[in-house]
Amino acid sequence: MQRRSLLAGSAALGLAAPGLARAQARTEIQLWHAMTGALGETIGEEVKRFNESQGRTTVVPSFKGGYVDTMTGAIAAWRAGSPPHIVQVFEVGTATMMAAGPAIKPVHTLLGEAGITLDPKRYLAGVRGYYSDTQGRLISMPFNSSSAVMWLNLDAFEKAGLSTTALPKTWREVRAAAEKIKATGAAPAAVTTAWPTWVLFEQMAAIHDIPFATKANGFEGMDCELQLTQPFFQKQMDFVLGLQKDGLFKYGGRDNAAEGLFPAGEAAIGFNSSAGRARVAREAKFKWASVPLPYHDDVIASPKNGVIGGASLWPLSAKNRPVEEYRGVAEFFRFLSEPALDQWWHQQTGYVPLTLAAYEKSKAEGYYTQNPGADAAIIQLSRAEPTPNSMGFRLGGFVEIRNIIQEELEKALQGQQTGAQALENANRRGNVVLRNFERANKG
Amino acid sequence: MERKTVFPQRLLPYLLLAPQLLITAVFFFWPAAQAVWFSFLRQDAFGIRTSFVGLENFTELLADPTYHEALRNTAVFATAVSLLSLGLGLLFAVLADRRIRGAGLYRTLLIWPYAVAPAVAAVLWIFLFHPQVGLIGRWLNGVGLGWDYKLNGGQAMLVVILAAAWKQVAYNMIFFLAGLQSIPPSVLEAAAIDGARPWQRFWTITFPLLSPTTFFLIVVNLVYACFDTFGVIDALTKGGPAKATETLIYRAYVDGRVNLDLGMSSAQSVVLMVVVILLTMVQFRYVERRVHY
Amino acid sequence: MSNAASTTEPGQRPDWLAHGVLALGVLLFVLPIWVVLMGATHDAATIGRGEVPLLPGGEGPANFAALFAGGRVGRMLGNSLLMALAVAFGKIAISILSAYAVVFFRFPGRTLAFWAIFLTLMLPVEVRIFPTFKVVSDLGLVNTHAGLIIPLIASATATLLFRQFFLTIPDEYVEAAKMDGAGPLRFFCDIVLPLSRTNIAALFVILFVYGWNQYLWPLLVATGEEVETLVIGMVKMIGSEANTEWNQVMAACVLALLPPVAVVLLMQRWFVKGLTETEK
């Protein structure tokens, strides 16, 4: 019912001719996003609440495909002179957007011009750090943040004779559990992961406090270099290849292609974004749990915080864009920063709460005791004070770098090269991308 | 060839030519010239900072081992697609050309894949070879063959070749049929009277007489495999796994669209333009002259 | 026609072999389509579990209804139709005019114009993809029907075909027209157009299929749902394969392949003629 009225509303908006004398001319704000299905509907609901809450601005959300399509579409539109007001860009695109200078309007400038104050401190440290400049000012608007967590099929664990209360915490324990699952045939495959590079390398570097790249993972300058040939990555790569060699690991494809294997019961241990929670809850026909990512206990005794994934909202500039449109964007952002809305978004989607207030409130209301494991990502994000290695990544051309690592990993999994060669190649090719980005953005 | 009688008007022909020349100038010559110009530039994603880098894009491109890999993939892919679709097209054409019952029906049933978009053809093959939902893919896994084109580069290449060739067989068959039907029956009758067996007749008489068609089709198939199959690769493998199915055209797309590197993508366009012009010259210089009609 | 092979001669292999191979070929071509047709009549779970059905199920109407709900697929279908028709008619219109100019007139720059058009034969849009996209974007045509269609209208094949054909129109026709006092436009409408009917029909089939099946160009230009075509939309529905509703993809796939296949089969005679004559 609600959805129908939403559709009817947006249809009416589309039909209203611009010249029609309506009592109050509302400013229209275009929002391009990359959320399908239930998440897309949640954005629609959020926007509807904003549009009804005030009389000056109408936000029009439109789905533009996956993250890459949305980002490149917006860039193409900016070059063509007709960009949307707001575009949702995934965390991997952050450095590219930050380097875009006149194309973007930093959030702190935007809010300042509209006379709106927003204390960045209200956001969780891991969230704030990722989207701020070196002076701690917000450049883009935190929106949907997640972290990677480990999902366990407890029915399969039971079938394999494993404990369903003392769950694996370290990679050693994950391997032991996987061996039992395979030996007993409790599930078709033991371990799989969505977002392979994000989970297996980026998150692991942060958790173990190992630099992924020099210059604080790029935060301190574009002249950073990847550190993938360091011993830790070698160890991690060998560990993954070892799992695969012993038939314990099933590679399910790039990006989120493997996301469906865990809820379908195809793999008993799955790594994925915490935002996959809604899907697991809907589809899994078995008892399950979500816990923080495992770590190597011979590398670090108490793991650091993981990094966030997900996306943020970027205000784009355009020639002759009227002041009131920027003001509309600013007001929408203020609306989004309300802890109550944030709490609703968090519980609705499985993304982590962005503000401390929303987290505290959810906790106080007993949300996490009713939904055990829903705080796994939050615990993982906030269990330690972020170090330069766990603040996040600000690497130019990161989309390409991630694809390069995936390609080299795929080659190693196919047995076409050793783990050491894969890391060396990924490091070399990735650094070429970094240098090109540096040169292209200096001239 | 020229007409003897023409109309005397002076202005009218220019007006008649104007639409096509205008579109050609704006959407063909201008972009082609721009491609050459951009290939000497380096630009950030938004096009805010531009610098002239001379031949750097080309030297980087030609030194890049992954570009050599894309070149190799393209060669393997184009050769396999052409051979497979030409071979099957010829086989079906020869059989459907015989006066057997229902030859017309067979022809109808064999030509329609021509109308299927390459991307749609790829999706059809997903339903055959997908390791989880595909008919044949599941069966292969069931008998323990370890089928997964999303991880195994060789299998991925095989699937894109099959899908691309499948769509092209119909096209080749139509041309071979037309070629076969233009061979004078008397030639074959004479050979039959001389006692030549059908197989022998085919190789010594029919096939050489088909050579103009064959050479024409080789060029067309190579061009098809190089450029029109973008949809097949994008829908099936996206160039993966590990770039195993990345062809030159897919590479140009990834660098331009995903990696937002206009200079590098343009440099590749220039390389491709040179290749196509060479191919076309081969077609005109070599094929048209040397092959006897 | 190849009468030589008509009667069974000594040494001629029997027909059943030919029938067998041809039937196998037909099967090879039909199987993928059959799988998709049948898949489109089952629910998502059946296909998701990998039980690829070879017999029709009862979910067909529901799948297509779901597909059209929301209006997105309907719009894609409309866009595809518009694009295929506009590309076909646009190309035919501008080529028949330019071919007429090149063949029936003498004017300075005639050879140059002919070669300028002929050159476009060599470079398909895929080869110069990003520079073309940039030009369209500079003109503000991204995500418009004009941007989708116009750049594809410029190509030489149709012009060459009409030129070949116009050269075969007897001189007497032109002379007679001149004696009657008919001008070039009158001659074009009364004589040339009617004579070109079969060529136009043949070209229409090929260009309709060409326009409908475009992939890379719409993928770049259609940045929004407004101008998205069915082929693009269908492939996008597969997405990352993580949340794919395969039965819907199959239904969309059926929609995406039906119109061009229908055009080719219904206009088979012109199609074969058009194909073999445009390309030679």
C246-276 pLDDT tens trace: 888 888 999 999 999 999 888 888 887 777 7
CB contact under 8 Å between C130 and B269, yes or no, is yes
Residue A358 inside a domain? The answer is yes
Residues A48 and A93 in one domain: yes
The pLDDT > 90 percentage for chain B reads: 29
A189 Cβ contact list (under 8 Å, min separation 6) = A249, A250, A261, A266, A267, A268
Residues A157 and A107 in one domain: no
CA distance B88 to chain A (A): 32
Amino acid code (one letter) for C167: L
- Spatial separation of the C-alpha atoms in residues A164 and A153, rounded to whole Å: 9
**More confident position, A190 or B48:** A190
Instruction: Write the pLDDT tens digit of every residue in A42-53.
Output: 899 999 999 999
B117 Cβ contact list (under 8 Å, min separation 6) = B231, C212, C213, C214, C215, C231, C256, C257, C260
Is residue C113 less than 8 Å (CB to CB) from chain B?
yes
- Spatial separation of the C-alpha atoms in residues C235 and B120, rounded to whole Å: 8
The gap from C-alpha B175 to its chain's centroid, in whole angstroms, comes to 15
Mean pLDDT for B122-134 is 85
Range of the domain at A211: 148-302+396-440
Stated length of chain C: 280
Angle at A76 between CA A25 and CA B49, to 5 degrees: 115
Residues A107 and A170 in one domain: no
Amino acid code (one letter) for B143: V
Q: According to the model, what pLDDT value does residue B292 have?
A: 40
CB contact under 8 Å between A75 and B260, yes or no, is yes
Mean pLDDT for C34-55 is 78
Distances (CA, A) of B207 to A317, B201, B204: 65, 9, 7
Residue A158 inside a domain? The answer is yes
Domain ranges in chain C are 14-64, 71-278
Q: According to the model, what pLDDT value does residue C240 have?
A: 55
DSSP state letter for A29? E
Q: Are A69 and A88 in contact (CB under 8 A)?
A: no
Number of H-type helices and E-type strands within chain B: 16, 2
Domain ranges in chain B are 50-290
- Spatial separation of the C-alpha atoms in residues A408 and B88, rounded to whole Å: 36
- Spatial separation of the C-alpha atoms in residues A422 and A420, rounded to whole Å: 5
Nearest-Cα residue of chain B relative to residue C54? B135
Mean pLDDT for B169-190 is 85
Amino acid code (one letter) for A32: W
Q: Tell me: pLDDT of B100 over 80.
A: no
Residues A133 and A198 in one domain: no
B7 DSSP β-pair partners? C105
- Spatial separation of the C-alpha atoms in residues A53 and A341, rounded to whole Å: 13
CATH number, domain containing residue A125: 3.40.190.10
A63 DSSP β-pair partners? A33
Helix (H) or strand (E) holding A209: none
Residues A86 and A173 in one domain: no
CA distance A440 to chain B (A): 5
Instruction: Write the pLDDT tens digit of every residue in B60-94.
Output: 999 988 899 999 999 999 999 999 999 999 999 88
Instruction: Write the pLDDT tens digit of every residue in A202-226.
Output: 999 999 999 999 999 998 889 999 9
* Residue at token pair 């371990």: A191
Q: Tell me: pLDDT of C58 over 90.
A: no
Per-residue pLDDT of chain A (443 residues; tens, 9 = 90+): 344 343 444 444 434 444 444 445 789 999 999 887 678 888 999 999 999 999 899 999 988 878 888 898 888 888 878 889 999 999 889 988 988 888 999 999 999 999 998 888 888 877 888 898 878 899 999 999 989 999 999 999 999 999 999 999 999 999 999 999 999 999 999 999 999 999 999 999 999 999 999 999 998 889 999 999 999 999 999 999 999 999 999 998 887 778 888 988 889 999 999 888 877 887 888 999 999 999 999 999 999 988 888 899 999 998 889 999 999 999 999 999 999 999 999 988 889 999 989 999 999 999 999 888 888 988 888 888 888 898 889 998 898 899 899 989 999 998 889 999 999 999 999 999 999 889 888 75
- Spatial separation of the C-alpha atoms in residues B177 and B96, rounded to whole Å: 8
CB contact under 8 Å between B175 and C132, yes or no, is no
C29 token code pair: 């071509």
A218 token code pair: 């790029």
The gap from C-alpha B94 to its chain's centroid, in whole angstroms, comes to 23
- Spatial separation of the C-alpha atoms in residues A250 and A257, rounded to whole Å: 12
Is residue C71 less than 8 Å (CB to CB) from chain A?
no
Is residue A253 less than 8 Å (CB to CB) from chain C?
yes
Q: Are B234 and B24 in contact (CB under 8 A)?
A: no
- Spatial separation of the C-alpha atoms in residues A217 and A306, rounded to whole Å: 14
A172 Cβ contact list (under 8 Å, min separation 6) = A296, A297
Is residue B151 less than 8 Å (CB to CB) from chain C?
no
Q: Are A102 and A71 in contact (CB under 8 A)?
A: no
Residues A109 and A226 in one domain: no
Is residue C61 less than 8 Å (CB to CB) from chain B?
no
Residues A294 and A339 in one domain: no
A238 Cβ contact list (under 8 Å, min separation 6) = A419
Residues A265 and A411 in one domain: yes
Q: Point out the residue among C134, C223, C236 whose CB comes nearest to the CB of A77.
A: C223
CA-nearest of A230, A223, A211, A195 to A396 is A223
The domain total for chain A is 2
Going by pLDDT thresholds of 50, 70 and 90, the confidence category of residue C277 is: low
- Spatial separation of the C-alpha atoms in residues B117 and C211, rounded to whole Å: 10
Q: According to the model, what pLDDT value does residue C10 have?
A: 44
Is residue C8 less than 8 Å (CB to CB) from chain A?
no
Residues A293 and A178 in one domain: yes
CB contact under 8 Å between C242 and A73, yes or no, is no
Residues A297 and A327 in one domain: no
Going by pLDDT thresholds of 50, 70 and 90, the confidence category of residue C6 is: very low
Q: According to the model, what pLDDT value does residue A87 have?
A: 96
Going by pLDDT thresholds of 50, 70 and 90, the confidence category of residue C1 is: very low
CA-nearest of C126, A218, A441, A224 to B261 is A441
Q: Tell me: pLDDT of C8 over 50.
A: no
Is residue B257 less than 8 Å (CB to CB) from chain C?
yes
Angle at A87 between CA C74 and CA A91, to 5 degrees: 115
Whole-number average pLDDT of chain B: 86
Q: ipTM score here?
A: 0.84
CA-nearest of A255, A234, A242, A254 to A191 is A242
Please count the other Cβ atoms lying within 10 Å of the Cβ belonging to residue B209: 18
Please count the other Cβ atoms lying within 10 Å of the Cβ belonging to residue B101: 10
Q: According to the model, what pLDDT value does residue C37 have?
A: 86
Q: According to the model, what pLDDT value does residue C70 have?
A: 74
* Residue at token pair 């055009």: C263
Architecture of domain B50-290: Orthogonal Bundle (1.10)
Q: Tell me: pLDDT of C211 over 60.
A: yes
Residues A194 and A271 in one domain: yes
Q: Tell me: pLDDT of C18 over 50.
A: yes
Residue A11 inside a domain? The answer is no
Distances (CA, A) of A163 to A156, A296, A372: 10, 20, 17
Q: Which residues of B touch C41 (CB under 8 A)?
A: none
- Spatial separation of the C-alpha atoms in residues C276 and C280, rounded to whole Å: 6
Domain C71-278 CATH assignment equals 1.10.3720.10: yes
Q: Point out the residue among A253, A440, A442 whose CB comes nearest to the CB of B150.
A: A253
Q: Label residue A140 exposed, middle or buried (CB < 10 Å: 0-12, 13-18, 19+).
A: buried
- Spatial separation of the C-alpha atoms in residues A41 and C225, rounded to whole Å: 17
C207 DSSP β-pair partners? none
Coil, helix or strand at residue A273: strand
Pairing of strands B50-52, A57-63: unpaired
- Spatial separation of the C-alpha atoms in residues C203 and C98, rounded to whole Å: 16
